[in-house]
Structure 1
Amino acid sequence: MKTIAFFNNKGGVGKTALVYHLAWMFADHNISTLAVDLDPQANLTAMFLDEDRLEDLWPDDDHPQTIYGAIRPILRGTGDITEPFIEQITLTLGLVPGDLGLSRFEDKLSSAWPHCHNRDESAFRTMTAFYRIIESAMKNGSAELALIDVGPNLGAINRAALIASDQVCIPLAPDLFSLQGLKNLGPTLREWRATWLELLRKAPVNLSMPKGAMQPAGYIVMQHGVRDSRPVKAYQRWMGKIPDTYRVAVLDEKPGAKIPVVDQDPYSLALLKHYRSLMPLAMEARKPMFFLKPSDGAIGSHVEAVRSCYKDFQHLAQRIAQGAGIAISPDSDRE
């Protein structure tokens, strides 16, 4: 079982849509996949489910079928995590639904972190709640892979989510804000990893503990198209800075004289097109862009765009699977 988080502390780079499409792609290749929504905005859940189902999941009282319901006893101080609910999307794709109420867990996680230094078992139970929920859900759903969506910040919820991950994929846009976010993200990941490894020596032996590996799996450049406000030269300039910035900020390497361009960089998992014309159709049809049919409005030039989109995400899924040690089927034409 592998857990991969998708994280950038700069928002607006298309992270949630990326997780959504990759979850569908892995499932389409018969890899039992669990999508885990640990972003308090719950946008991933909203992409998977319609409003009627969301209303069922988020009633006025308790939310037993969401991530908030699973951690609520810890939040209230009345017990440990409960058995997580899995929303079965397909035979090979499940979802641990998100919840806006998850934001209430931030303070509890923030205060638990320093108490772990004192060998406080309740603090360790709090810090490992996400990990144990994901572990339980993957076992119950026989999932081989979990994809974790988190919010764009360096807060306590994300720290606990990333501790639960084996690898971290970083979506980027070729702009100043993404690169600045990368410079903040890299050192923070290393600090969290080092501290958690130290805390593991103080952890109770009767509790399932994550290794806190959060190894960088690579970056994904989300190409949002060139706009009048962002000329070609500026776009190319920021694109050219990504490989070196990733190495220095995330991998803690010294600046190199010979750094490859993005499309030749081994740490670059993909350069994804925006597919601006397909996304509205996909949202209306409530399906991934690469599953759109003529009946969904994918006609004319959209037909080739759908095929191209499938190939792009298939290639990305294969790169990620290779890095995670997961066997995935080779290229195949999808009609």
Structure 2
Amino acid sequence: MRSIAFFNNKGGVGKTTLLCNVAASLARKSFKRVLVVDADPQCNATSYVIGENAIEKLYSKESRMTVDAYLDSVSRGKGYKEDLETVRSGGRFGFDIIPGDPKLALREDFLASDWKDATAGDERGLKSNFVFKGLLQQCKNYDYVFFDVGPSLGALNRSVLLSCDYFLMPMTADVFSVMAIKNIGESLKSWRRKLDRGLEDYADEYGHDYLLDGQKVGLKIQYMGYVSQQYKSKTQQGVEQPVKAYERILKKINPAVSLSLKQWAAEKLDLKNPQIGKVKNLHSLVPLSQSANCPVFELTGDDGVVGGHFASVKAADDIFAQVASEIERITE
């Protein structure tokens, strides 16, 4: 099993659409067992894949089985929740999901407070901040677990990134996405330094390393590249090239990655060209996909696709399959 966070400190980059379509491509085309964990308090992935009727039924209950249940168990001192409960996304996506919950926004203070304890070697603090590692221990029957997260560098996302094997960055060609690369690199270094100190203090206090599932923990996440979103291109002499406005920004991304994320790069990632996919602007296909609760590449005439949009649906199939293929290659 490999766990991957789709993460960017910059919002509005099409992260959830990318994640759900790549997860569906792996499940439907490559026959992989995929679980999506919606760890974004906005719950966009949940809304996208399970449908309006299921959402009303789920969130009408005060006590509901969502990702927040795992944090609630830890915050009450009950340890990691052991019974993994998922929702089937439906045949058109083909993967399972642990639904999100707006209550997650209320967990930031709890995790931030326990982070201070974790960096001082406190066992409870470490246990709280590795809550998603505890969740992942129950996901060994999956090939991939994808985490959808918000665009912050706060305590909730830190807890996700502490637990995942990899993170993938959806990127738009704007200066703020480039700046986000530096923010992420600096945050990862700071978190590792503080966590390592806490783990050393724990080992000094108890005479052994802090273990989960018999394994030493730490910030071990690897950077697996970026995907250009809303990519705009033109064809010159049969060769696809980015338009000039995009090209200027794209030229800044690779040096920024080499400067800030080199030490986190996955072994199979080409740092000279860490772009593992390009998603063109899919325009009206995305809202059609959201309304139909199905991947973009599964849209049909019954969902409102007409005329030339059928070619765009086929192109989307190829686009998301390419990203899925790169994920498989890097994580082999």
Do both proteins adopt the same fold according to a TM-score greater than 0.5, normalized to the shorter chain?
Answer: yes
State the 1:46 CA deviation: 0.9
Counterpart residue type for residue 259 of structure 2: V
Counterpart residue type for residue 137 of structure 2: E
The 5 A counterparts of 1:91-106 are 93-106=95-108
Aligned residues: 307
Q: Deviations over 1:21-80 (max 9, x none)?
A: 1110110111100101111111111111222211222235222x10112221322x2412
- Aligned sequence identity (%): 31
User: In the alignment, what sits opposite 1:109?
Assistant: 111
- The residue matched to 2:181 in structure 1 has which SS? helix
Structure having greater relative contact order (Cα 8 Å, sep ≥ 6): 2
Q: Provide the rounded CA distance (Å) in 1 between the counterparts of 2:190 and 2:211.
A: 26
Q: Provide the rounded CA distance (Å) in 1 between the counterparts of 2:125 and 2:218.
A: 16
User: In the alignment, what sits opposite 1:74?
Assistant: 74
Q: Provide the rounded CA distance (Å) in 1 between the counterparts of 2:224 and 2:51.
A: 32
State the 1:234 CA deviation: 3.3
Higher mean C-alpha displacement, 97-106 vs 54-63: 54-63
User: In the alignment, what sits opposite 1:169?
Assistant: 168
Q: Deviations over 1:242-284 (max 9, x none)?
A: 111111122269xxxxxxxxx9953111121121131122122
Q: Structure 2 residue aligned with 1:307, among 300, 310, 314?
A: 314
Q: Evaluate the alpha carbon distance shift between residue 211 and residue 68 of structure 1 in structure 2; reply closer, same or farther with a 3 A threshold.
A: same
Q: Evaluate the alpha carbon distance shift between residue 265 and residue 206 of structure 1 in structure 2; reply closer, same or farther with a 3 A threshold.
A: closer
Counterpart residue type for residue 12 of structure 1: G
Q: Structure 2 residue aligned with 1:239, among 235, 247, 250?
A: 250
- The residue matched to 1:169 in structure 2 has which SS? strand
- The residue matched to 2:288 in structure 1 has which SS? helix
Once superposed, what is the RMSD of the aligned Cα atoms? 2.4
**1:43 and 2:39 are equivalent in the alignment:** no
User: In the alignment, what sits opposite 2:223?
Assistant: 216
User: In the alignment, what sits opposite 2:299?
Assistant: 292
Q: Provide the rounded CA distance (Å) in 2 between the counterparts of 1:290 and 1:14.
A: 16
State the 1:294 CA deviation: 2.0
Q: Evaluate the alpha carbon distance shift between residue 301 and residue 271 of structure 1 in structure 2; reply closer, same or farther with a 3 A threshold.
A: same
Q: Provide the rounded CA distance (Å) in 2 between the counterparts of 1:270 and 1:190.
A: 26
**1:249 and 2:260 are equivalent in the alignment:** yes
- Would you identify which runs of 4 or more consecutive aligned residues in structure 1 move more than 4 Å? 203-206
Higher mean C-alpha displacement, 314-323 vs 289-298: 289-298
1:166–1:212: 8 Å Cα contact kept in structure 2? Answer: no
Unaligned runs of 5+ in 2: 204-208, 234-242, 265-269
User: In the alignment, what sits opposite 1:16?
Assistant: 16
Q: Provide the rounded CA distance (Å) in 2 between the counterparts of 1:104 and 1:235.
A: 38
Counterpart residue type for residue 134 of structure 1: L
Higher mean C-alpha displacement, 123-132 vs 86-95: 86-95
TM-score with structure 2 setting the length? 0.85
Q: Structure 1 residue aligned with 2:273, among 266, 273, 276?
A: 266
- The residue matched to 1:223 in structure 2 has which SS? strand
2:10–2:180: 8 Å Cα contact kept in structure 1? Answer: yes
State the 1:210 CA deviation: 4.3
Counterpart residue type for residue 39 of structure 2: L
State the 1:219 CA deviation: 1.0
User: In the alignment, what sits opposite 1:276?
Assistant: 283
User: In the alignment, what sits opposite 2:237?
Assistant: none
TM-score with structure 1 setting the length? 0.85
